[in-house]
Amino acid sequence: MGGFNDNGREHWASRAGFILAAAGSAVGLGNIWRFPYMTGEHGGAAFIIIYLIAIFLIGYPLIVNEMVLGRVTQRNPVGAFKALAPKTPWWLVGALGVFTGFVILSYYAVVAGWSLAYVYKVVIATRTAGIDHTDVFVGHISSLWEPIGWQALFMTLTVGIIAAGVVKGIQRWATILMPVLFIILVMLILRAVTLPGAGEGVAYYMKPDFGEVTGRTLLGAISQAFFSLSLGMGVLITYGSYLSPKDELPANAMCVVGIDTGIALLAGFAIFPAVFALGFQAGAGPGLVFITLPAVFAQMPLGIFFGILFFLLLSIAALTSAISLLEVVTAWLIDEKGWHRKNAAICMGLVIFIVGLPATLGYSALGGFSFPGLGTDLLDTYDWFANSIFLPLGGLLAAIFAGYIWGTRKAIEEANKGRTVFALGNWWGFLIRYVVPVLIIVIMAMGIYDSFIK
């Protein structure tokens, strides 16, 4: 492990380095911002149980699928499909992935910018008596230049890490930031669960209410699994391409799933007990983190300190995810177009920043515009296309490719090279050929029906 392969491709320097980088990609805004409010809206523990089933039936098989495609070809998503199915249009699946990475990062950096801004805004918000936290948040996102500045800062950090390379950039920062993230999360949980009245929040979070489960809950759980595990656009093809056949694969994939799910569950324990203990509502939806939580911190002993820690946590989680999105685009330019890493990272960072500007301006200068039929703001529109269409489609096509074109026998054989813990069996082929495609088609159909037809 480590160093370069015969073709000069850089490889992860250690097993932990790869796992932390892939887990860093997975653990992001999806875990700390989206998972808690989705759980809050969809029946608490009932949602969690369905989510776990979705992870097992779709998440794990697809993670393995992507990692294998990357490792066996030693290529970015476009190059991977070209290598396995030359002179066919399958490379377009990889191209869809690269494009999706573009779109997701462009608006992800907007929300990450809000988070960075809140590392210091939360101080003002918690210090000013009688302040309206909705006004603070809306005021921030609807001002013209401030959010753009934070978005630019966040993109600069992302570009800096990617420009430094796989081991010296991605692996190095994942190895530093992931333990920091974990320590901060544990501190926040200890604070939250020791507040008087915290038990009510724990009960709310842990009590399964299957009465709230509907088709939308299933849809929510599956799309959450995709987003949270960074699936469907080739992040794991790209990260897998920096593995060698001597490296463990099936168990590494399981570690990544475990860390991602664990952190999402823990984030709920940092949030709900505090929200309930201080008498707030948990069903605030997307505003939970930026509006409810600052209000909670304002009332909490040492709230300023924990507020800063929380937004630091959110920003770190966002950064290790953002780098994985930029790496896909960068690897494509390096492999396929012969670009230098630094040039690729800087140019693409700039272009993605510009593509993201309308999503930021959607709350200020472009406030009136919305996509016909969706009726939401621009950031939600980016998000809808990425999460409801591009990611599931990418995952579906990659599963069909492995299941019916390349063949699951080959894939299983490749995945098992270098394994030391457990081997992938035929059950994986069954999931990839039948279960994954059927479930994805159903959720895509439901998502489109929900948004346009109903």
Contact 378, 369 (CB under 8 A): yes
H or E element at residue 252: helix 250-277
223 part of the interface to ligand TRP, by CB under 6 A = no
Among 195, 235, 256, 274, binds ligand TRP (CB under 6 A): 235
Smallest distance from ligand TRP to CB 321, Å: 4
Residues sharing a CB contact under 8 Å with residue 408, sequence separation 6 or more, in sequence order: 402, 426, 428, 429, 432, 433
Quote the crossing angle between the two packed helices 172-193 and 250-277, to the nearest 10°.
30
Q: Name which of 21 and 164 has its Cβ closer to ligand TRP.
A: 21
161 part of the interface to ligand TRP, by CB under 6 A = no
Residues 12-31 within binding reach of ligand TRP (CB under 6 A): 25-26, 28-31
Amino acid at 149: G
Q: Name which of 35 and 91 has its Cβ closer to ligand TRP.
A: 35
Among 37, 99, 227, 310, binds ligand TRP (CB under 6 A): 227
Smallest distance from ligand TRP to CB 296, Å: 22
Q: Using the rule CB under 6 A, give the single segment among 178-186, 318-326, 339-347, 422-430 that binds ligand TRP.
A: 318-326
CA-CA distance, 422 to 60, in Å (whole number)?
Answer: 14
230 part of the interface to ligand TRP, by CB under 6 A = yes
Q: Name which of 29 and 116 has its Cβ closer to ligand TRP.
A: 29
CA-CA distance, 428 to 65, in Å (whole number)?
Answer: 9
Smallest distance from ligand TRP to CB 145, Å: 26
Contact 176, 247 (CB under 8 A): no
Among 74, 115, 261, 324, binds ligand TRP (CB under 6 A): 324
Smallest distance from ligand TRP to CB 26, Å: 5
241 part of the interface to ligand TRP, by CB under 6 A = no
3-class DSSP assignment, residue 112: helix
Smallest distance from ligand TRP to CB 320, Å: 9
3-class DSSP assignment, residue 214: coil
Q: Name which of 276 and 401 has its Cβ closer to ligand TRP.
A: 401
CA-CA distance, 50 to 223, in Å (whole number)?
Answer: 12
CA-CA distance, 185 to 269, in Å (whole number)?
Answer: 9
Q: Using the rule CB under 6 A, give the single segment among 119-127, 172-180, 307-315, 320-328 that binds ligand TRP.
A: 320-328
Q: Name which of 327 and 414 has its Cβ closer to ligand TRP.
A: 327
Q: Percent helix, strand, coil in the chain (nearest 5)?
A: 75, 0, 20
Burial of 38 by CB count in 10 Å (0-12 exposed, 13-18 middle, 19+ buried)?
buried
Smallest distance from ligand TRP to CB 99, Å: 12
Smallest distance from ligand TRP to CB 124, Å: 26
Among 112, 325, 398, 444, binds ligand TRP (CB under 6 A): 325
Greatest pairwise CA separation for the chain in angstroms: 66
Tell me how many residues contact ligand TRP (CB under 6 A).
Answer: 16
Q: Name which of 229 and 300 has its Cβ closer to ligand TRP.
A: 229
Residues 29-48 within binding reach of ligand TRP (CB under 6 A): 29-31
CA-CA distance, 267 to 270, in Å (whole number)?
Answer: 5
CA-CA distance, 55 to 264, in Å (whole number)?
Answer: 13
3-class DSSP assignment, residue 208: strand
Q: Name which of 235 and 277 has its Cβ closer to ligand TRP.
A: 235
Residues sharing a CB contact under 8 Å with residue 8, sequence separation 6 or more, in sequence order: none
394 part of the interface to ligand TRP, by CB under 6 A = no
Mark out the alpha helices in 164-249 (DSSP H runs).
Answer: 172-193, 198-206, 215-228, 235-240
443 part of the interface to ligand TRP, by CB under 6 A = no
CA-CA distance, 263 to 275, in Å (whole number)?
Answer: 18
Binding mask 358-377 for ligand TRP (x = CB under 6 A): --------------------
Q: Return the sign of the alpha-carbon dihedral for residues 73, 74, 76, 82.
A: negative
Nearest Cα to Cα of residue 293 among 112, 137, 129: 137
Binding mask 103-132 for ligand TRP (x = CB under 6 A): -x----------------------------
Q: Name which of 60 and 276 has its Cβ closer to ligand TRP.
A: 60
381 part of the interface to ligand TRP, by CB under 6 A = no
Q: Name which of 358 and 395 has its Cβ closer to ligand TRP.
A: 395
Q: Name which of 34 and 71 has its Cβ closer to ligand TRP.
A: 34
Smallest distance from ligand TRP to CB 104, Å: 6
Q: Residue numbers of the site for ligand TRP (CB under 6 A)? A: 25-26, 28-31, 104, 227-228, 230, 233, 235, 321, 324-325, 391
